[in-house]
Amino acid sequence: MRVLIPILCLILAGSLGHAQAPQTDRLTLAGINVTPHQFSQEMQWRRAPEPALSARTELFVRNDSNDNLRITGPLRFDTASPSDLVAANALAWRDPSWENGFELPAGALRVLRFNGKTPEWGTESNHTLTYKTDAQNDKEILFDIDTPVAWIESIGFLNSPESFRPTKMIVTLRNDLDENLQLLSCQLWLPKDNDSYHTLFPSYSPSDLQTWNADKNVPAKELTGFTINTQPLPLTYMALEVVLKKDPQSEPMSLWANIKIRPSSFDVSGGWTANKVKDKMSMTNEEYLKTLAILHVNTGQIEEVDGFTNNNELYAKYPMKRFNRLGDRQRYDTDAMLPTIHAVEFLGEPQYGGGKPVPPQDVFDKLAPYEPWRLPTSVTLSEERTWRYYAGLSDYPHYDAYRVIAPAADAWTKYDRWNGASIRWGAPLETIGSMTRSLRELSRPASIAYWSQGAHDGWGGVLSPRRGSPTPDELRSQAWQGLGNGIMSLYWFNLSMKSLAKFPDLLDPIRRVGREIELLKPILQSATAYRYERIAQDGKPSWDLSSIVHQDSALLVANDLAYSIDEKTRTFQFANRSANFRFELPVWLRNAQVDGGLDCFEIDADGPRPVGYKIDNQGITVQADANQEHLPQARVSGVKVVGIYVVTRDKSLRQKLTEHATELDQREKSLGFDPIGNPDDRKRLQSWVD
């Protein structure tokens, strides 16, 4: 590993040490963040993915002189400009804002972002950044793109009830080394204002950092986190530096991340909820709005809906976050409107692009005008085979993938999943989890979301024996494959009036998933994915075990993979199953078991209930079997589709969730319209489209 010029050494792969004393008129490479490309080995395609991998890279350059520094362009990587490398398909995209030069005040930081497309820009590659200053010859910074051995896994932002601006940061760190790392310090870098977001200054450095495991260690081969309380943060781009060291004698190492600050909010979208039905706009129908409310939908693919968003009384009664182009900055980038906005999204599915993929650089350029805004951007990704090239383009990326009857990017007949049977009407439901894990890792530390298959009237043919939407069990399985693997929002496709009227048997399954999200929001909004394991039985997939964790709790999810094919109806069939699930717990929860004990319970839409379990010094075994008569109100039929469990050191959480479930009951009843439980209201639902 070679020395970095001008003043840094690469201490560990993917991590950089502290700078030496500032040098006059010098640009310093303060740090580097590398996200290696990957793709799932489980997915099947008509054309195989390109096996050669690259990486997404961020260079954190700092002016360590005592004066303003004017960098003149064009900057070059090795012998070519970044734009030339994009044109040559060596890079998928680059941020062009710095390519032709920039000014950097003394002590300020700038992030140079780009995404590779070839192995020459992947891990274990060496490069040179060449730049000029006024009246100076070429200067060089050498940098290595290496596989990281530790990294910032996620950054979340929680706001207080008094302010939309976040006042708490949740940072998780992943240590892939065989030895512990000690947390020394961290530094937030912020711009002076949103319009100068490129130029970052040291802003806040908390003095008393402690990881969740009650010491300052990031254990070997483990994840841990820490929480930072701050003054209200601006909704703009920031950088975070976390300084660690292996032992007292070793040099410090720095982990870096660049992210747009946005309040972490788990939202549930109903998709394209605004449409004409019988020449009337759907969202002016109060019964439809009540139905969306009973399904716990708070977001729609809407911008302005006449008769709804401009009807103050109706909109206040049934608030719905906007998820669309939102191109008027004077209207939407305001304190009053920000709480009503989920994200900017207007590019469709650029990987398809109407038959010809939109190049990642074009996507970057179309989203770039929103970067100074306080709104987060999002992109719909659709093909895991190539979405690594689109990684890092938006603030809050999401994907869509439906596993039965709907159009799909992957090749369903190529999956050898059910004793050699080849089917055209469905794909393995667990590939939702595979895609979630893939996009999550490519996007870190940003959160991701997922379009889940709901009730939609546009799938399937008239003569097809396969129903045109998922069954209740198929719907639940897909949703929880995403939820259990760390999505931050869920978007149903597509809860239009016509769709809900056509598939009324999906109303209660959607409602139940919505209730579970509502109950678990305190965990979902502040947690990060922890572990995943595939369990086989007799050489066949049996269970997917996944977990997400935060400071006080772990959410444990067991997805049933032993479902079968019903060839007559062309549907997947689930049975009640008994099992003992073994989950590893993070070190801070293992320590909590020693210090004061943990509580564990099962949870579903009806609230928490007892479950058998055993905890040891490494993890927990959940006894999800059919013989638990000794546990009052425990499940007596095993697990069907998915088992959901909470392990927590908060001994009051079970009671809080029980009370919250009662509140949800009352909220649903107060709507005064129940097409799930009231036959007359169900007829009213059907009358919308008859």
pLDDT in tens, 517-547: 999 999 999 999 999 999 999 999 999 999 9
Residue whose structure tokens are 């639940």: 476
| Residue 215 CB burial class (10 angstroms; 0-12, 13-18, ≥19) | middle
- Looking at the chain, the whole-number percentage of residues with pLDDT higher than 70 is 94
Check residue 629 and give its pLDDT: 54
DSSP β-bridge partners for residue 347: none
Q: What ranges in 333-453 are assigned the alpha helix state H?
A: 360-367, 431-443
pLDDT in tens, 573-620: 999 999 999 999 999 999 887 666 899 999 999 999 999 999 988 899
Whether 17 has a pLDDT exceeding 70, the answer reads no
Task: Return all residues near 50 (Cβ < 8 A) that are at least 6 apart.
Answer: 386
pLDDT in tens, 478-504: 999 999 999 999 999 999 999 999 999
Cis peptide, bond prior to residue 407, ω within 30 of zero: no
SS3 137: coil
d(CA 24, CA 684): 75
The candidate with the shortest Cα–Cα distance to 140, out of 28, 57, 227, is: 28
The candidate with the shortest Cα–Cα distance to 131, out of 76, 92, 183, 65, is: 76
**Average pLDDT of 173-198?**
97
Q: What ranges in 444-586 are assigned the alpha helix state H?
A: 472-483, 497-502, 507-524
pLDDT in tens, 615-664: 988 899 999 875 555 555 555 568 999 999 999 999 999 999 999 999 99
Whether 477 has a pLDDT exceeding 70, the answer reads yes
**Model confidence band, residue 1 (pLDDT cutoffs 50, 70, 90):** very low
Q: Strand pairing of 398-400 and 449-453? A: parallel
Element (H, E) at 648: strand 642-648
d(CA 323, CA 297): 13
**Average pLDDT of 41-58?**
96
d(CA 601, CA 515): 17
Output the average pLDDT for the chain.
Answer: 93
**Model confidence band, residue 688 (pLDDT cutoffs 50, 70, 90):** confident
Q: Please calculate the CA angle 651-652-656 and round it to the nearest 5 degrees.
A: 145
